[in-house]
């Protein structure tokens, strides 16, 4: 028990320390890692655990960000109050998307959700909604100041606030992703028919998983909007959805630490690629991505769990049953 | 528990299923009594698995009715069937490959639980209560099926015979009234079939349930079943004790396609 308490205290110290060691852009980057980690955690719930591939989670992130921006500017709500509202609205949208998703699997579902990722930025640009969304111009979000009495800079407070919300959501997710509902989700991913025969209401679990997933990613969008202090359609292009998916796969789909590692990849690797070769950062990014997947087929989290085993084993009859990665991979039916 | 044909657990009445122009089941009727082990036999394509899929709600019957303990199953959603007391296994194993043995069997306790996403996220007391109850039930079934030693191994690493027992454990853990086994002996070696024979008896005694099994292994069917129903081309051709069905001319013809006299002579 004492060791556990010590580990928790040490962990919190390590997470809080950057607020006082880093500043400016470096600290902002860590704030974004925390926000992306929540977004990828949301994606993990529906894609990693339940096995429904979504290439459209950037849309939920965008909706969450805009809900926060609109509520703060047009309705003068305090920043913290916008988070639960963004979460509930995104859960509603996710639930609605979950129904057509029931009829689709694998690549078909991936394409339909990708259509959502393409459509949402254009809808945000639409003239009809301009009074609220600010059209192409977007909305400037006033960053929250630290509550009076806390001697923290705005950057420090934003980091600590984002960190606190992320820790809360990871805590809730950890509870959710074990026990009865975790089993139901993984059962649906592995063997939907057997899951139904075991009494699991597959449609209900899938639509709810979609809603919960969208809730997490939506709140992440809110956090991102506060950190960036600006929302505009171009910030939420389809590339964002792809980036979240890449983060999920690189980190290790279906693991909580994987979401954090994936978020770090999403935040830092494009910058690293930029530094390596300014003329073709996409090529460097692609190579780093391929290398990550080649050496760690179950994601970084999977590799840490199983030990680095080198490239994915070729599937021969002899190794088939013993070398299957345990979780962490995405199964496309 | 002695075999006492008293009450009907499963009533199949005049069930018909067509797939396009193919008639898979054509007016099949029979009953399974409480505590009975009933064998469903027939050549390939005779409709055994189709009938299983009707009972477990995967196919809709186009005519006729199926009732469990007097409650009609027609029109129920598939996932409700398990909660009413029917557990099943699959012809080709259908285990949750990324889970351990224990978690696979825990999935079988799903209908007994109520905790949803929100209860779980908030770790409400109900969650712990339900998990504790589920763990106890799983431990009992794992013990009975001699799976305790492999409980925390991933199912992907198990030998085939053991994996089949995990599937039976998953179907049993919610204490069904009726257990549907689709070719439980398929792929097992001689010793494993003997173990299965003993296991099915043990399960029936322990849980006081009825078993309906589809099986090609005639030795197993004839030794373990009190009641045998034979299908051919989607129709019931015989229904009775193993001895009666074995002697039935139509059954012999369906299996061997030769006159009875010739078979006797051989």
Q: Which residues contact A117 (CB under 8 A, 6 or more apart)?
A: A55, A56, A57, A58, A59, A238, A240, A241, A242
Residues present in chain A in total: 333
CA-CA distances (angstroms) from residue A295 to A76, A242, A281, A298, B231? 49, 21, 21, 9, 54
Residues in A touching B141 (Cβ below 8 Å): none
Q: B121 and A172 in contact by Cβ < 8 A? A: yes
CB contact under 8 A, B120 and A327: no
Assess contact for B238 and B228: CB atoms under 8 A.
yes
Cα A181 from Cα A172, distance rounded (Å): 13
pLDDT band at A194 (very low <50, low <70, confident <90, very high): very high
A68-104 core/surface letters (b: 16 or more CB in 10 A; e: else): bbbbbbeeeeebeebbebbbebbbebbbebbeebeee
Sign of CA dihedral A322, A327, A329, A332: positive
Residue B207 has pLDDT above 50, yes or no: yes
Task: Measure in Å the smallest separation between the Cα of A172 and chain B Cα atoms.
Answer: 5
The percentage of residues in chain A with a pLDDT greater than 90, rounded to a whole number, is 65
How far is B29 from chain A, CA to nearest CA, in Å?
23
Q: List chain A domain ranges.
A: 11-237
Mean pLDDT of B178-207: 92
Domain ranges of chain B: 8-85+176-265, 99-169
Is residue A292 scored above 80 in pLDDT?
yes
Q: Given this model, what pLDDT does residue A131 score? A: 86
Give the three-class secondary structure for A229.
coil
Mean pLDDT taken over chain B:
90
pLDDT value of position A255: 86
Q: Is B219 helix (H, G, I), strand (E, B) or coil?
A: helix
Nearest chain B residue (CA) to A196: B79
A43 touches chain B (CB under 8 A): no
Summarize pLDDT for A93-108 with one digit per residue, the tens: 999 999 888 888 888 9
pLDDT at B263 over 70: no
Instruction: State the average pLDDT over residues B207-234.
Output: 92
> What integer pLDDT is reported at residue A156 of this predicted model?
93
Could A180 and B56 be called an inter-chain contact, meaning their C-beta atoms sit closer than 8 Å?
Answer: no
Residue B1 has pLDDT above 70, yes or no: no
Least confident of A56-70, A162-176, B105-119, B212-226: B212-226
Residue with tokens 């008896």: B201
Cβ-Cβ contacts under 8 Å for A197 (sequence gap 6 or more)? B56, B58, B78, B81, B82, B87, B88, B90, B94, B171
Cβ separation of A190 and B98 shorter than 8 Å? yes
Predicted local confidence at residue A314, as pLDDT: 45
Q: What is the DSSP string of A304-324?
A: HHH----SPPP--TTTTTTS-
Burial code (b: 16+ CB inside 10 Å, e: under 16) for A149-168 equals eeebeebbbbbbbbbebbee
What pLDDT does B224 receive? 93
The tokens for B36 are 């009975």
A199 contacts on B by Cβ (under 8 Å): 79-83, 108, 110-111, 174
- Of the listed ranges A42-46, A132-136, B37-41, the least confidently predicted one is A132-136
CATH class of B8-85+176-265: alpha beta
Q: What is the pLDDT of residue B6?
A: 65
- Among residues A316, A319, A294, A297, which one has the least CA distance to residue A306? A297
What angle (nearest 5°) sits at the alpha carbon of residue B117, between those of residues B113 and B118? 105
| Closest Cβ–Cβ partner in A197, A202, A322 for B88 | A197
pLDDT at A323: 34
Cα three-residue angle B148-B152-B155, rounded to 5 degrees: 100
- Tens-place pLDDT, residues A153-171: 999 999 999 999 999 999 9
User: What pLDDT score does A324 carry?
Assistant: 37
E strand or H helix that includes residue A206: helix A202-228
Q: Residue A329: what pLDDT?
A: 55
- pLDDT value at residue A311: 46
pLDDT at residue A312 is higher than 50? no
Kindly give the pairing relationship between strand B63-68 and strand B8-19.
antiparallel
Mean pLDDT of B199-212: 94
Which pLDDT band, with edges at 50, 70 and 90, does B238 fall under?
very high
Torsion of CA A238, A252, A197, B134, to 10 degrees: -130
Check CB contact of B76 with chain A, cutoff 8 Å: no
Give the lowest-confidence range in A22-36, A286-300, B8-22, B85-99: A286-300
- Please give the interface size between A and B, counted as residue pairs whose CB atoms are below 8 Å apart: 112
- A307 falls in which pLDDT band (50, 70, 90)? low
Count CB neighbours of B23 within 10 A. Answer: 16
Contact A183 B107 (CB under 8 A): yes
**pLDDT for residue A148 is more than 90:** no
Mean pLDDT, residues A56-64 taken together: 96
CB contact under 8 A, B111 and A196: no
- Please tell me the distance from the alpha carbon of residue B37 to that of residue B180, in angstroms, as a whole number: 10
CA distance B257 to chain A (A): 36
Residues 6+ apart with CB under 8 A from B39: B213, B214, B215, B221, B224, B225, B227, B228, B229, B242
Mean pLDDT (chain A, rounded):
88
User: How does residue A330 score in pLDDT terms, banded at 50, 70 and 90?
Assistant: low
Say if residues B69 and B99 touch (Cβ distance below 8 Å): no
Q: Quickly list H helices, B34-184.
A: 48-55, 78-84, 101-107, 117-121, 125-144, 160-172
Q: What is the pLDDT of residues A215-271, one digit of tens each?
A: 999 999 999 999 999 999 999 999 999 999 999 999 988 789 999 999 999 999 988
Tokens, residue B232? 């051919």
Q: CA-CA distance, A132 to B266, in Å (whole number)?
A: 89
pLDDT at B182: 93
Give the per-residue pLDDT at B109.
Answer: 96
List, for residues B125-168, the tens digit of each pLDDT value: 999 999 999 999 999 999 999 999 999 999 999 999 999 999 99
The confidence score (pLDDT) of residue A73 equals 94
Longest Cα pair distance anywhere in chain A, in angstroms?
66
Residue A10 per-residue DSSP state: H
Q: Tell me, what's the pLDDT at A253?
A: 81
Q: Which residues of chain A make contact with B127, given a CB cutoff of 8 A?
A: 175, 179-180
Residues B235 and B27: beta-carbon distance below 8 Å: yes
């Amino acid at each position: 028990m004492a060791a556990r308490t010590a580990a928790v205290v040490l962990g919190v110290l390590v997470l809080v320390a950057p607020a006082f060691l880093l500043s400016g852009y470096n600290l902002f980057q860590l704030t974004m890692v925390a926000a992306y980690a929540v977004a990828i955690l949301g994606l993990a719930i529906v894609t990693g655990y339940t096995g429904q591939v979504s290439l459209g989670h950037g849309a939920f992130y965008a909706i969450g960000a805009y809900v926060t921006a609109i509520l703060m500017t047009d309705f003068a709500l305090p920043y913290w109050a916008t988070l639960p509202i963004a979460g509930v609205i995104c859960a509603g949208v996710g639930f609605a998307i979950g129904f057509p998703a029931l009829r689709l699997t694998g690549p078909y579902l991936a394409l339909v959700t990708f259509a959502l990722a393409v459509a949402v930025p254009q809808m945000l640009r639409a003239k009809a909604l301009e009074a609220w969304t600010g059209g192409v111009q977007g909305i400037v979000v006033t960053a929250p100041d630290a509550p009076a009495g806390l001697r923290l800079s705005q950057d420090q407070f934003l980091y600590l606030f984002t960190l606190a919300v992320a820790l809360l959501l990871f805590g809730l997710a950890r509870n959710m992703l074990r026990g009865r509902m975790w089993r139901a989700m993984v059962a649906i991913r592995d063997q939907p028919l057997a899951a139904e025969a075991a009494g699991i209401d597959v449609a209900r679990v899938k639509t709810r998983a979609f809603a919960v997933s969208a809730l997490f990613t939506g709140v992440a969008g809110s956090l991102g909007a506060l950190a960036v202090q600006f929302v505009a359609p171009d910030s939420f292009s389809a590339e964002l959805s792809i980036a979240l998916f890449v983060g999920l796969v690189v980190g290790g789909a279906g693991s909580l630490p994987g979401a954090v590692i994936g978020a770090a990849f999403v935040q830092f690797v494009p910058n690293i690629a930029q530094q390596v070769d300014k003329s073709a950062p996409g090529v460097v990014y692609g190579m780093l991505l391929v290398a990550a997947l080649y050496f760690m087929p179950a994601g970084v989290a999977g590799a840490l769990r199983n030990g680095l085993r080198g490239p994915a084993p070729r599937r021969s009859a002899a190794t088939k049953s013993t070398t299957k990665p345990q979780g962490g991979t995405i199964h496309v039916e | 528990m002695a075999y006492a044909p008293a009450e009907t657990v499963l009533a199949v009445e005049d069930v018909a299923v067509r797939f396009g122009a193919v008639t898979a089941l054509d007016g099949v009727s029979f009953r399974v009594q409480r505590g009975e082990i009933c064998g469903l036999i027939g050549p390939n394509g005779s409709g055994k698995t189709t009938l299983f899929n009707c009972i477990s709600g995967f196919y809709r019957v186009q005519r006729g009715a199926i009732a469990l303990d007097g409650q009609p199953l027609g029109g129920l959603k598939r996932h409700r069937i398990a909660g009413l007391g029917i557990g099943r296994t699959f012809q080709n194993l259908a285990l949750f490959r990324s889970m351990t043995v224990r978690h696979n069997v825990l999935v079988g306790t799903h209908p007994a639980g109520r905790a949803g996403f929100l209860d779980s996220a908030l770790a409400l007391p109900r969650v712990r209560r339900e998990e504790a109850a589920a763990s106890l039930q799983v431990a009992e079934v794992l013990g009975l099926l001699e799976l305790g030693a492999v409980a925390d191994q991933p199912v992907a690493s198990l030998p085939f015979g053991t994996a089949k027992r995990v599937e039976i454990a998953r179907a049993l853990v919610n204490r069904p009234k009726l257990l549907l086994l689709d070719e439980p002996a398929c792929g097992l070696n001689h010793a494993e079939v003997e173990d299965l024979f003993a296991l099915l008896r043990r399960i029936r005694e322990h849980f006081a349930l009825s078993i309906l099994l589809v099986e090609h292994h005639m030795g197993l069917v004839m030794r373990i079943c009190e009641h045998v129903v034979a299908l051919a081309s989607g129709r019931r051709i015989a229904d009775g004790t193993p001895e009666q069905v074995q002697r039935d001319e139509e059954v012999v013809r369906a299996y061997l396609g030769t006159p009875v006299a010739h078979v006797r002579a051989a």
